[in-house]
Amino acid sequence: MTTAVAWMAPVCALIGICMAAYLGSWVLKQDPGPDKMNSISIKIQQGAKAFLMSEYKLLVIFMVVVGIIMAVALSPITALAFATGGVMSAAAGYAGMHVATRANTRTAHAAEQSVAKALNVSFKSGLTMGLCVASFALLGLSLWLLLLVFGIDIVEVAQMHENIGMVEGFATGASAVALFARVGGGIYTKAADVGADLVGKVEAGIPEDDPRNPATIADNVGDNVGDVAGMGADLFESYTGSILAPTILAATFGALGGYFATGDLVWALVTPLLIAGCGIITSIIGLFAVRAKEGAALHKALNRGTYVAAGIEIVVIFCLFAVWNSQSVEAQPLWLFGSVLCGLIAGLAIGKITEYFCSDKYKPVHKIAEAADTGAATVIIEGIGTGMLSTIAPIVLVALAIIGAYTFGNMAFPNAAADGGIAVGLFGVGLAATGMLSNTAITIGVDAYGPVADNAGGIAEMAGLPEEVRDRTDALDAVGNTTAAIAKGFAIASAGLSAISLFVSYQATMHHSIPDFALTLTDPLIVAGIFIGAMMPFMFAALTMGAVSRAAHAMVEEVRRQFREIKGIMEYKAEPEYDKCVAISTSSALREMMLPGCLAIVVPVAIGCFNPAMLGGFLAGAVATGMLMAIFMSNAGGAWDNAKKYIEQGHHGGKGSEAHKAAVVGDTVGDPFKDTSGPSMNILINLMTIVSLTFAPLFIMLQGMF
């Protein structure tokens, strides 16, 4: 199979890695400030590194066990791809966090001069993370595809389909690591955050990040392990899934239906990689559009970078499909540009809707802040209602994107669509997911700068910098809360589109090997699977929320103990025992993350071994409720957080008022919503779907035996 053009993907990935190295080195060359600031940053670095190393040790054991099972039940190559996906995801997260934990003090020092300089440092740190995630994912995935899929003769479509099943191991490894990283990091950061807020702010009445608060170092460490490393792993697996889903569909249609002509099949396989590779380059270009002057709207500067990258990406993708169209004989692939455009537009629109519900510039957050005047209960009620309401428009947009992308897909391959076989238009739906996450690098960059700014604010507070410095870092942090919610919206929406593509591949694969395989609502086992699948996100949310609650309880008791027993903390005469709080967050996160992470793999495999059709129903139910839960929890948490910050700006009595205390309680409830349970849902969806597809050969073998 001659697909020399596919080598463009790893080349773009290598360019992204080189740019990430340049940006990271630039950040590290900036002035870290005086020793007092740097010493605080070093404590955060040490805590973050210690947690990641402990987490990775557990993950190595998990990966080895699952890898051995894969090698025996599937193939050694699938197991090796699984390990590669996990290792590259962990490496991207570690590299990004290494820079982020050193950028915090440099951002704080830059904020002493201007908010524009602070934005420059923090955003370049975030883009370092973004480029590492996108480039590592594309490099690993493209090399596996070049080795196993593009390296065989195009006429061997059956072998191609079998080999791409091995590449699915890469996505499975990425998703497994992402789930543990999101859940573990989320439990860590929210245990510290809740403990610091409830005892420090509400009970002791001291400011956020006050050095007298024993949980403040753990809180700042948590920002990095949860919102940098965890978020990076989250987008790594979403990005991988968005590239692989249409590629798997193309191989499935080529092998099992013969819907693509030879030349079109080549293009269908390589196009997702090319779109992703171009996205890395356009994200680098978008960097130069992020500029802010003193007093300017920070969110506009960040949005400008995203929009510039998206605009250039649209032009490049159009040219890509125009070239394919000129070489196609039987199809009209230029219509697929419409499918990609559906994904891009839906992603950007969902981002704006998320901004509306989560930003302190708009009515929903103002209403939550207003509710704080009457106490914490009304804050919680208003926040829950806001989160539920925020699900409507994104779900409608995803539905419209699916319909539009499907329609354009059928128009691109009219002959295949007319055959009445499996819906070839769903290839367009897969490409819509690719388009939605094509600019993942800059999306993560805009997101990951937020935790750096948050850490910078904590360092400014602990180091006793002037109030104007904290005001600048708070301005960066407030925008960061919104951009983080927007990035979660992209990941959630793309997870739904990717899951549909993978679901169709699962259905086609099973039907090809088991002729009487069918997914119909008249089958009671399938209906039972739908209900069990719909329950999974709720059980997952309960497990992760309960984990945060237990860890936070231990943190609250420890902070109270130190305030009670260590004399002189409140008078700055004694230093709190920060390491005790770091140890509580670390041990709690590592202990609590294993059960929900393992269930996401064990449950679909167990159901698939029992009845593959029941697993189809299970996946349908899980995708539907998982997307709703993810949007609801992430947006409600983001709205509560910014309502608190809106009050801290001087509204409704400002800091220290009764309204502020009520808003802090709402923010505390929202913390595990937006940073633990909510963002883990899209990983749960992707992981269960890709695990089902990866283990499909095992299910087929077992059905043949019985």
pLDDT (tens digit, 9 = 90+) per residue, 543-590? 999 988 888 888 888 888 888 888 888 888 888 888 888 888 888 888
Residue type, 668: T
Confidence check: pLDDT of 481 > 70: no
| Res 319: pLDDT | 92
Q: Which two tokens stand for residue 3?
A: 């697909």
Residue 11: CB atoms within 10 Å: 12
Contacts 24+ apart (CB under 8 A), 30-36: 30/103, 30/106, 30/109, 30/110, 30/121, 31/106, 31/109, 31/110, 32/102, 32/105, 32/106, 32/109, 33/105, 33/106, 33/108, 33/109, 33/112, 33/463, 34/463, 36/463, 36/464
Residue type, 527: V
- In 3D space, the residue among 270, 236, 224 whose CA is nearest the CA of residue 251 turns out to be 270
The least confident of 194-198, 476-480, 674-678, 684-688 is 476-480
| Res 280: pLDDT | 93
Query: Which band of pLDDT confidence, cut at 50, 70 and 90, is reported for residue 259?
Result: low
Instruction: Measure Cα distances from 244 to 75, 240, 270, 620 in Å.
Output: 19, 6, 10, 19
Query: Which band of pLDDT confidence, cut at 50, 70 and 90, is reported for residue 706?
Result: low
Greater confidence (511 vs 327) lies with 327
Both ends of the chain: CA-CA distance in Å?
38
Confidence check: pLDDT of 402 > 70: yes
Residue type, 274: L
Burial zone of 400 (CB within 10 Å; 0-12 exposed, 13-18 middle, 19+ buried) = middle
What is d(CA 190, CA 638) in angstroms, rounded to the nearest whole number? 14
Confidence check: pLDDT of 477 > 90: no
Q: Mean pLDDT over residues 675-680, rounded? A: 84
Q: Mean pLDDT over residues 402-411, rounded? A: 90
Residue 189: CB atoms within 10 Å: 30
What is d(CA 454, CA 452) in angstroms, rounded to the nearest whole number? 5
- Tens of pLDDT, residue by residue over 320-373, are 999 999 888 778 889 999 999 998 888 878 888 888 998 888 999 999 999 999
Residue 602: CB atoms within 10 Å: 11
| Res 294: pLDDT | 61
What is d(CA 272, CA 277) in angstroms, rounded to the nearest whole number? 9
Confidence check: pLDDT of 420 > 80: no
Greater confidence (192 vs 2) lies with 192
Give Cβ neighbours of residue 664 (< 8 Å, ≥ 6 apart): 197, 198, 201, 202, 644
Q: Which two tokens stand for residue 256?
A: 């099992």
Question: Token match 């940053």: residue?
Answer: 41
What is d(CA 499, CA 347) in angstroms, rounded to the nearest whole number? 16
Q: Are 426 and 504 in contact (CB under 8 A)?
A: yes
| Res 216: pLDDT | 84
| Res 157: pLDDT | 67
- Tens of pLDDT, residue by residue over 82-120, are 999 999 999 988 888 899 999 989 998 888 888 888 888
Query: Which band of pLDDT confidence, cut at 50, 70 and 90, is reported for residue 386?
Result: very high
What is d(CA 369, CA 469) in angstroms, rounded to the nearest whole number? 25
Confidence check: pLDDT of 1 > 50: no
| Res 371: pLDDT | 94
Q: Mean pLDDT over residues 263-269, rounded? A: 84
Question: Token match 């910050």: residue?
Answer: 645
- In 3D space, the residue among 636, 349, 370, 642 whose CA is nearest the CA of residue 479 turns out to be 642
- Report DSSP state, residue 213: -
Q: Are 222 and 188 in contact (CB under 8 A)?
A: yes
Instruction: Using DSSP, state whether 342 is helix, strand or coil.
Output: helix
The count of residues in the chain is 706
Residue 522: CB atoms within 10 Å: 7
- Report DSSP state, residue 333: G
Confidence check: pLDDT of 4 > 80: no
Question: Token match 């440092």: residue?
Answer: 121
- In 3D space, the residue among 28, 162, 171, 51 whose CA is nearest the CA of residue 104 turns out to be 28
Query: Which band of pLDDT confidence, cut at 50, 70 and 90, is reported for residue 2?
Result: very low
What is d(CA 177, CA 400) in angstroms, rounded to the nearest whole number? 31
Confidence check: pLDDT of 298 > 80: no
* Angle in degrees, 0-180, between the axes of helices 392-412 and 336-358, rounded to the nearest 10: 170
Q: Mean of the per-residue pLDDT values for the chain?
A: 85
Share of the chain above pLDDT 70, in %: 93
- Tens of pLDDT, residue by residue over 209-257, are 778 888 888 888 888 888 788 888 888 888 898 888 888 888 877 766 6
Question: Token match 């061997």: residue?
Answer: 156
What is d(CA 357, CA 383) in angstroms, rounded to the nearest whole number? 10
Q: Which two tokens stand for residue 346?
A: 């839906």
Q: What is the domain extent for residue 571?
A: 1-703
What is d(CA 236, CA 233) in angstroms, rounded to the nearest whole number? 5
Query: Looking at the 3D structure of the chain, how many domains does it have?
Result: 1
